């Protein structure tokens, strides 16, 4: 048992001696005249002779009053039943503040509960640090136990380094704000270990192992992507499971894309998943710029989620849904302008943040493509099949002489410029596709010509440029071996080096293919037009797909038109930030903590304009709010910690009740004159 | 006084019976009441010869008459401070009983002596005879003040030394005497007197209506006792009181002293008319 208000003992120190002094003071007796004291004296004498424990009995009232006082003071001291082991040495508190911690439990969110438990832990620490004599020392004085606090979602932040000041710790824990990010614990653990054992120079005088091992306590619902791989260098990670609710239906995916062929048509793909134990019916509404129309409300029935994956040892993946628990929905909208899409789930559940998803639909725009080539039939025919606003074929000589028609203010006037087997003298800012050529400069170099027939060895299927581009049975007769700089992204790997690489520098976004199309069998395959489509879209699309994939915690790439130097970004939670673009007009914003629409406002040509960026959770792992404890994880490095309930079982009511009972008994004793 | 006047009427009925019932004189005397005959011997007073018998039987018989002695009735009543207490008042009660007894005695032509005592005999009205003196008796009783400490032993010794005659001695007191009652009674027993002991206590002494933490002050000697009233203490007091009274009663019974206990709650006329007759003081 421990106490929250030790100052109550000061009261005890003052009141109990006062009571004793009252007892030592002579009782002021009422004087009563009687005929004779003869018989009274005899009675008194008889009674005293017959009662051997007279002294003790005499003090029964005093004893009872002392008991009443003691009970009252103990109640004032707010006694608590200590239900968790006292921490020793140093303590690292990790608090998960990812999206799933925003789940609403019976009282407050999981993050609130985690913070409250962490505060209790710190309070226990405070008392342990001072022991019973802690009320003798001043607040904030040195304690033996130190603690640090790390809050993490997809990124970890040290909220407080090791400090013995528990008051400060309580303040910083209370100040931890929720995020909608995903949860990754690795960074938090690395931070913690860095603080636990800072790298030191080992000399002969340095005593090894002076730093005692720290206890690492994690407050989380267990919905952490890499929790199963979480391993501490020394000791165990103590996971205190927060939360019980599992009632959640969430939007796990939202994609809004303009049809390439018909740019006014927007295809919206929604994925909804049920994580409840029961089948649910949810209705989804699609709002366009905040407006709802009847045709955009649909009701879906979702089967119950399966629990199998939750009990899977080391199951770092999110629980796969049972059949019918996940449903995809598609909407086809006609939108001639840019718009903000918002999908809303009407069902109220424990986690609110995944009931909404946003998408930004750009204004329909078609690219202007400039092809610099001597003559290329394949390119001509492929580009003719693409829905482009304009495609212009010129020779390298025309490009070199063209001047302002093609390059203005060091920027390319076309959305995408394709250099087929040629290269300009200087590269303006813009997006470029090089076919068997390299951009000027030293970044990408041709190391040797390749005259053997070779095939692509590996390609990045997940990359947007190579999406739906199978490269099987593609043979390359002639090409060049490329030497890629460090920061280039290799998309197709050949036997002698990269066949396709992406490289961006100083606003110049280049895609370099190491061979000419006609020197390979690629043009015969259907994958080549798809590649051309993807590449032109990727280079000139203004990041249409990229924008849609931003999750909380991801870095937002803001592309501003030329001439805009400084602008402000407004978050969904009302926060603002100043954005300063670099030379290419791009800027990066990393404060995407909450889900919603981020607005970038700027003035262009005297006109106020606003760009919208959507940040969505759309993560089944965070939407799956079923809490996992150490038992469900089954990872050896993680032990189950008991919930810190020190503050909850406050038992002062019992002491008040006891005081009342003793008071009643004392009253009875006094009135019954049981005593002398 | 009105009560005493009323008492007169009440006492008249008692007068029909006679006081000191068994107490016939052993001597033949000169009263009018015939007792016996006896043969004349030379030297007898010729006045008492029954000439009628001589005329009939020619024998000289002497008439013997009962000697009517007057009875010495001494009433010792306690006038110490402890009697000035109680509701009904003990002192008043005792005076009324004394007055009633005196009246009965006066009406009966007994010699009545009234003594008020505390630590010594403080008031004294000795040798009163005749019912016309009842006014003086009442006045005496009214004037006798209450106060002082009681010392029954000293008073009894003094009384025994002064009064050698036979008679009836009635003691009216609460016997709350720190010096004890045994010595005093022994002194009185040494005289050849009939002793009557009437112990008078107030109801508040029998069942004290006390509560709380008290400092008890004795009205006689200012002696103090600090008590906190409690159930056991009250029980102890009452058992102590009973033991004290029982001790007094036993002491008296064993020595042929008639003992009577009364509370002032009992009306004094009831005491006089009923209780004293039951106990044989009156007939």
User: Do the chains contact at A34 and B230, CB–CB below 8 Å?
Assistant: no
Q: How many CA atoms lie within 13 A of A444 on its CB side?
A: 31
Given CB atoms, is B245 within the 8 Å cutoff of chain A?
no
> Residue B109 pLDDT > 80, yes or no?
no
A205 is a domain residue: no
A302 is a domain residue: yes
Write the CA distances from A279 to A304, A325, A351, B59, integer angstroms. Answer: 4, 8, 17, 150
pLDDT bin (cut points 50, 70, 90) of residue A51 is: low
Given CB atoms, is B209 within the 8 Å cutoff of chain A?
no
pLDDT at B200: 92
| Cα–Cα distance, A634 to A314 (Å, whole number) | 6
A429 and A564, same domain (yes or no)? no
Burial letters A314-350, b for 16+ CB under 10 A, else e: ebeebbbbbeebbbebebebebeeebbbbbbbebebb
A377 and A482, same domain (yes or no)? yes
Tokens 């212009």 -> residue: A392
Q: Which of A11-20, A83-92, B47-56 shows the lowest per-residue confidence on average (mean pLDDT)?
A: A83-92
A59 is a domain residue: yes
The residues pairing with A30 across neighbouring beta strands, listed in sequence order, are: B214
Torsion of CA A383, A386, A390, A391, to 10 degrees: 0
What is the DSSP track for A69-129?
Answer: HHHHHHHHT-EE---SPPP-SEEEEEEE-SGGGG-B-SSSBHHHHHHHHHHHHHHHHHHHH
A383 and A529, same domain (yes or no)? yes
The residues pairing with B72 across neighbouring beta strands, listed in sequence order, are: B111
* Contact yes or no for A622/A100 (Cβ under 8 A): yes
* CATH code for the domain of A177: 3.40.50.410
User: Do the chains contact at B216 and A32, CB–CB below 8 Å?
Assistant: yes
Q: Which of B225, B165, B228, B235 is nearest to B194 (CA)?
A: B165
Write the CA distances from A518 to A369, A375, A432, A631, B275, integer angstroms. Answer: 20, 11, 19, 60, 153
Q: Which of B17, B275, B74, B55 is nearest to B194 (CA)?
A: B74
Task: Tell me the average pLDDT of chain A.
Answer: 79
Q: Which of A513, A456, A458 is nearest to A480 (CA)?
A: A513
Given CB atoms, is B214 within the 8 Å cutoff of chain A?
yes
Domain count, chain A: 5
| Cα–Cα distance, A578 to A569 (Å, whole number) | 6
Given CB atoms, is B85 within the 8 Å cutoff of chain A?
yes
A19 and A118, same domain (yes or no)? no
Given CB atoms, is B217 within the 8 Å cutoff of chain A?
yes
A377 and A335, same domain (yes or no)? no
A429 and A489, same domain (yes or no)? yes
pLDDT at A546: 43
pLDDT at A277: 83
Q: Which of A386, A399, A397, A422 is nearest to A512 (CA)?
A: A422
Contacts with B228 (C-beta within 8 Å, 6 or more apart), sequence order: A27, A673, A675, A676, B212, B213, B214
Instruction: Give the residue on A whose Cα is nearest the Cα of B206.
Output: A39
Q: How far, in whole angstroms, is CA A109 from its chain's centroid? A: 14
Average the pLDDT over B84-95 and give the result. Answer: 88
Contacts with A607 (C-beta within 8 Å, 6 or more apart), sequence order: none
Domain limit, last residue, from A473, A505, A540: A540
A525 and A571, same domain (yes or no)? no
Q: For residue A30, give the nearest of B215, B225, B236 by CB distance.
A: B215
A545 is a domain residue: no
B147 vs chain A: nearest CA distance in angstroms?
A: 11
Residue pLDDT, tens place only, A450-499:
888 889 999 988 888 888 888 888 999 888 888 888 888 899 998 888 99
Instruction: Mark out the alpha helices in B150-181 (DSSP H runs).
Output: 152-162
Average the pLDDT over B138-152 and give the result. Answer: 88
Within 8 A of B177 by CB-CB distance, chain A residues are 38
pLDDT bin (cut points 50, 70, 90) of residue B244 is: very high
A629 is a domain residue: no
pLDDT bin (cut points 50, 70, 90) of residue A543 is: very low
> Residue A542 pLDDT > 80, yes or no?
no
User: Do the chains contact at B218 and A36, CB–CB below 8 Å?
Assistant: yes
Domain limit, last residue, from A309, A333, A359: A359
Tokens 């004779």 -> residue: A36
A623 is a domain residue: no
Contacts with A617 (C-beta within 8 Å, 6 or more apart), sequence order: A99, A180, A250, A251, A353, A354, A357, A551, A552, A595, A623
* CATH code for the domain of A258: 2.60.40.10
> Residue B56 pLDDT > 90, yes or no?
yes
Phi, psi of A133 (to 5 degrees): -90, 10
Residue A398 is inside which H or E element, if any? Answer: helix A396-402
User: Do the chains contact at B231 and A41, CB–CB below 8 Å?
Assistant: no
Q: For residue B216, give the nearest of A34, A673, A674 by CB distance.
A: A34
Tokens 């994939």 -> residue: A549
Average the pLDDT over A600-609 and give the result. Answer: 80
| Cα–Cα distance, A143 to A132 (Å, whole number) | 13
| Cα–Cα distance, A471 to A400 (Å, whole number) | 34
> Residue A569 pLDDT > 80, yes or no?
yes
| Cα–Cα distance, A441 to A443 (Å, whole number) | 6
Which of A9-18, A125-134, B77-86, B220-229 is the most confident on average? B77-86
pLDDT at A211: 53
User: Do the chains contact at A40 and B237, CB–CB below 8 Å?
Assistant: yes
A236 and A255, same domain (yes or no)? no
A37 vs chain B: nearest CA distance in angstroms?
A: 6
Phi, psi of A61 (to 5 degrees): -65, -45
- Its pTM stands at 0.49
pLDDT bin (cut points 50, 70, 90) of residue A260 is: low
Given CB atoms, is B178 within the 8 Å cutoff of chain A?
yes
A385 and A347, same domain (yes or no)? no
What ipTM did this prediction achieve? 0.79
User: Do the chains contact at B218 and A42, CB–CB below 8 Å?
Assistant: no
A271 and A338, same domain (yes or no)? yes
Q: What is the Cα Rg of chain A in Å?
A: 37
A241 and A114, same domain (yes or no)? yes
A625 is a domain residue: no
A395 and A515, same domain (yes or no)? yes
Q: Which of A99-108, A191-200, B28-37 shows the lowest per-residue confidence on average (mean pLDDT)?
A: B28-37
Within 8 A of B218 by CB-CB distance, chain A residues are 33-37
Residue A42 is inside which H or E element, if any? Answer: helix A38-50
Does A52 sit behind a cis peptide bond, omega within 30 degrees of 0 on the bond before it?
no
Within 8 A of A675 by CB-CB distance, chain B residues are 228, 230
Residue pLDDT, tens place only, A571-587:
888 888 888 887 767 78
The residues pairing with A588 across neighbouring beta strands, listed in sequence order, are: A557
Q: Which of B146, B203, B122, B174 is nearest to A38 (CA)?
A: B174
User: Do the chains contact at B244 and A39, CB–CB below 8 Å?
Assistant: yes
Q: Is A33 left (phi over 0), alpha (psi -120 to 50) or beta?
A: beta
Torsion of CA A14, A16, A21, A24, to 10 degrees: -170
Contacts with A474 (C-beta within 8 Å, 6 or more apart), sequence order: A455, A456, A520, A521, A522, A525, A527
* Contact yes or no for A62/A16 (Cβ under 8 A): no
Which domain range does residue A308 map to? 250-359
Within 8 A of A37 by CB-CB distance, chain B residues are 216-218, 223-225
Domain limit, last residue, from A305, A332, A359: A359
A436 is a domain residue: yes
> Residue B164 pLDDT > 80, yes or no?
no
Within 8 A of B232 by CB-CB distance, chain A residues are 47, 51, 673-674, 676
Q: How far, in whole angstroms, is CA A399 from its chain's centroid? A: 49
Optimal mutation site among A38, A41, A51, A675, interface B, most CBs of chain B within 10 A: A38
């Amino acid at each position: 048992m421990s106490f929250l208000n030790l100052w109550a003992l000061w009261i005890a120190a003052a009141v109990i001696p006062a009571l004793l002094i009252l007892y030592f003071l002579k009782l002021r007796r009422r004087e009563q005249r009687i005929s004779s004291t003869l018989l009274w004296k005899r009675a008194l004498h008889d009674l005293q002779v017959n009662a051997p424990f007279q002294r003790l009995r005499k003090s029964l009232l005093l004893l009872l009053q002392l008991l009443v006082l003691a009970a009252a003071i103990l109640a004032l001291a707010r006694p608590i039943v200590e239900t968790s082991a006292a921490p020793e040495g140093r303590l690292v508190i990790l608090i998960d503040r990812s999206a799933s911690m925003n789940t609403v439990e019976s009282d407050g969110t999981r993050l609130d509960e985690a913070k409250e438990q962490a505060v209790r832990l710190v309070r226990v620490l405070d008392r342990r640090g001072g022991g019973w004599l802690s009320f003798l020392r001043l607040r904030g004085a040195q304690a033996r136990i130190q603690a640090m606090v790390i809050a993490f979602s997809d990124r970890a932040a040290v909220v407080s380094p090791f400090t013995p000041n528990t008051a400060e710790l309580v303040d910083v824990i209370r100040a931890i704000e929720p995020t909608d990010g995903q949860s990754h614990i690795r960074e938090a653990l690395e931070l913690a270990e860095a603080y636990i054992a800072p790298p030191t120079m080992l000399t002969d005088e340095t005593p090894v192992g002076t730093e005692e091992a720290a206890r690492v306590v994690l407050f989380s619902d267990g919905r952490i992507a890499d929790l199963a791989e979480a391993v501490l260098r020394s000791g165990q990670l103590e996971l205190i499971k927060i939360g019980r609710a599992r009632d959640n239906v969430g939007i796990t995916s939202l994609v809004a894309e303009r049809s390439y062929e018909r740019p006014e048509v927007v295809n919206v793909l929604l994925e909804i998943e049920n994580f409840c134990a029961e089948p649910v019916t949810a209705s989804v509404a699609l709002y366009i710029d905040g407006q709802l129309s009847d045709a955009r409300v649909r009701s879906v029935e979702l089967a119950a989620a399966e629990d199998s994956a939750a009990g899977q040892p080391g199951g770092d993946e999110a629980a796969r849904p049972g059949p019918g628990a996940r449903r995809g929905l598609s909407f086809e909208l006609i939108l001639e302008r840019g718009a903000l899409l918002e999908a809303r789930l009407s069902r109220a559940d424990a986690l609110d943040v995944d009931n909404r998803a946003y998408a930004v639909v750009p204004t329909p725009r078609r690219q202007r493509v400039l092809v610099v080539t001597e003559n290329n039939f394949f390119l001509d025919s492929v580009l003719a099949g693409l829905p482009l606003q304009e495609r212009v074929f010129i020779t390298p000589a025309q490009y070199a002489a063209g001047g302002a028609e093609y390059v203005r203010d060091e920027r390319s006037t076309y959305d995408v410029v394709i250099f087929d087997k040629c290269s300009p003298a200087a590269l303006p800012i813009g997006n470029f596709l090089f076919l068997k050529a390299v951009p000027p400069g030293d970044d990408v170099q041709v190391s040797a010509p390749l005259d053997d027939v070779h095939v692509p060895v590996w390609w990045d299927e997940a990359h947007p440029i190579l999406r739906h581009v199978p490269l099987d049975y593609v043979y390359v007769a002639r090409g060049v071996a490329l030497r890629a700089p460090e920061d280039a992204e290799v998309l197709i790997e050949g036997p002698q080096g990269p066949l396709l690489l992406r490289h961006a520098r100083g606003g110049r976004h280049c895609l370099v293919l190491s061979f000419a199309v006609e020197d390979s069998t690629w043009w015969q395959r259907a994958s080549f037009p798809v590649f051309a489509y993807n590449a032109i879209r990727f280079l000139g699309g203004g990041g249409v797909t990229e924008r849609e994939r931003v999750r909380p915690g991801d870095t937002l790439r803001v592309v501003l038109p030329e001439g805009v130097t400084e602008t402000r970004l407004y978050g969904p939670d009302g926060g603002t930030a100043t954005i300063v673009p670099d030379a290419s007009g791009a800027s990066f914003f990393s404060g995407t903590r909450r889900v919603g629409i981020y607005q970038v406002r700027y003035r262009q040509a005297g006109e106020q304009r606003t760009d919208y960026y959507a940040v969505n959770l759309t993560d089944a792992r965070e939407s799956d709010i079923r809490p996992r404890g150490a038992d469900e994880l089954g990872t050896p490095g993680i032990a189950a910690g008991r919930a810190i309930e020190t503050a909850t079982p406050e038992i002062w009511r019992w002491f008040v009740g006891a005081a009342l009972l003793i008071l009643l008994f004392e009253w009875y004793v006094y009135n019954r004159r049981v005593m002398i | 006084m009105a009560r005493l006047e009323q008492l007169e009427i009440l006492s008249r009925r008692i007068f029909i019976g006679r006081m000191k019932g068994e107490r016939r004189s052993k001597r033949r005397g000169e009263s009018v009441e015939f007792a016996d005959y006896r043969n004349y011997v030379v030297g007898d007073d010729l006045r008492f010869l029954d000439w009628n018998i001589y005329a009939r039987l020619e024998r000289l018989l002497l008439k013997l008459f009962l000697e009517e002695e007057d009875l010495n009735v001494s009433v010792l009543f306690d006038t110490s401070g402890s009697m000035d207490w109680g509701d009904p008042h003990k002192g008043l009660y005792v005076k009324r009983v004394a007055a009633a007894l005196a009246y009965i005695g006066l009406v009966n032509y007994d010699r009545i002596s009234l003594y008020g005592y505390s630590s010594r005999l403080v008031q004294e009205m000795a040798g009163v005879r005749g019912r016309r003196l009842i006014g003086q008796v009442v006045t005496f009783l009214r004037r006798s003040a209450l106060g002082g400490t009681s010392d029954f032993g000293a008073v009894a010794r003094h009384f025994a030394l002064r009064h050698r005659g036979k008679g009836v001695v009635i003691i009216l007191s609460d016997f709350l005497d720190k010096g004890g009652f045994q010595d005093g009674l022994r002194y009185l027993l040494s005289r050849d007197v009939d002793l009557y002991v009437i112990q008078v206590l107030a109801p508040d002494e029998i069942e004290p209506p006390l509560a709380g933490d008290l400092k008890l002050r004795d009205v006689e000697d200012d002696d103090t006792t600090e008590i906190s009233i409690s159930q056991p203490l009250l029980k102890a007091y009452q058992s102590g009181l009973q033991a004290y009274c029982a001790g007094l009663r036993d002491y008296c019974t064993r020595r042929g002293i008639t003992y009577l206990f009364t509370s002032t709650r009992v009306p004094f006329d009831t005491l006089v008319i009923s209780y004293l007759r039951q106990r044989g003081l009156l007939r």
